[in-house]
């Protein structure tokens, strides 16, 4: 959850259970070198942790750069075909898989808000 949501809702956030795709301060992101480096660089540049929109932007650039390097082309159709239906290693989200339509297959992290902070859940009851 964004820190602004915490500020607005205050204690009403506690106990909320939800899912999202990126948390700079929760596993698995805290153990992925690409994510750790991205969070540190973003925080140095902007003074705050990145949100999922920033992470999606960073991952898009990482994926594009890998596809360009692999294909040695800047042609958008060639680059797009290089990722469709294929895995891409080493992004802010870790290793990701793309569907045949070019959409990244998301992996959700289930969390609960405890004392105004995200806490990753091991399993929902």
Angstrom CA distances, 21 to 43, 76, 96, 100, stand at 19, 26, 12, 20
Same domain, residue pair 56 and 86: yes
Domain with 123, as residue range(s), is 1-21+109-125
Same domain, residue pair 5 and 66: no
Domains held by the chain: number: 2
The CATH number for 55's domain is 3.40.50.2300
pLDDT in tens, 71-95: 999 999 999 999 999 999 999 999 9
Same domain, residue pair 58 and 31: yes
Same domain, residue pair 103 and 116: no
Lowest mean pLDDT among 18-22, 40-44, 51-55: 18-22
By CB atoms closer than 10 A (0-12, 13-18, 19+), residue 78 is middle
Same domain, residue pair 54 and 88: yes
In this prediction, residues 107-119 reach a mean pLDDT of: 80
Query: Residue 125 — pLDDT band, cuts 50, 70, 90?
Result: very low
For the four alpha carbons of 102, 90, 53 and 42, in that order, the dihedral sign comes to: negative
Same domain, residue pair 91 and 42: yes
Query: Residue 50 — pLDDT band, cuts 50, 70, 90?
Result: very high
Same domain, residue pair 60 and 115: no
Same domain, residue pair 16 and 73: no
Same domain, residue pair 61 and 48: yes
In this prediction, residues 42-51 reach a mean pLDDT of: 95
Same domain, residue pair 58 and 7: no
User: Residue 105 is encoded by which pair of tokens?
Assistant: 């297959």
Query: Residue 25 — pLDDT band, cuts 50, 70, 90?
Result: confident
């Amino acid at each position: 959850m964004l820190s602004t949501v915490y500020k607005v809702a205050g204690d009403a956030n506690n106990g909320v259970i939800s899912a999202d795709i990126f948390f700079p301060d929760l596993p698995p992101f805290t153990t992925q070198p690409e994510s750790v480096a991205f969070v540190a660089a973003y925080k140095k540049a902007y003074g705050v942790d990145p949100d999922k929109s920033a992470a999606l932007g960073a991952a898009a650039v990482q994926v594009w750069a890998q596809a360009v390097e692999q294909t040695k082309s800047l042609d958008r159709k060639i680059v797009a075909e290089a990722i469709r239906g294929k895995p891409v290693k080493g992004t802010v989200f870790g290793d990701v898989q793309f569907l045949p339509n070019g959409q990244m297959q998301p992996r959700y992290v289930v969390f609960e808000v405890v004392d105004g902070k995200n806490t990753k859940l091991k399993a929902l009851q």
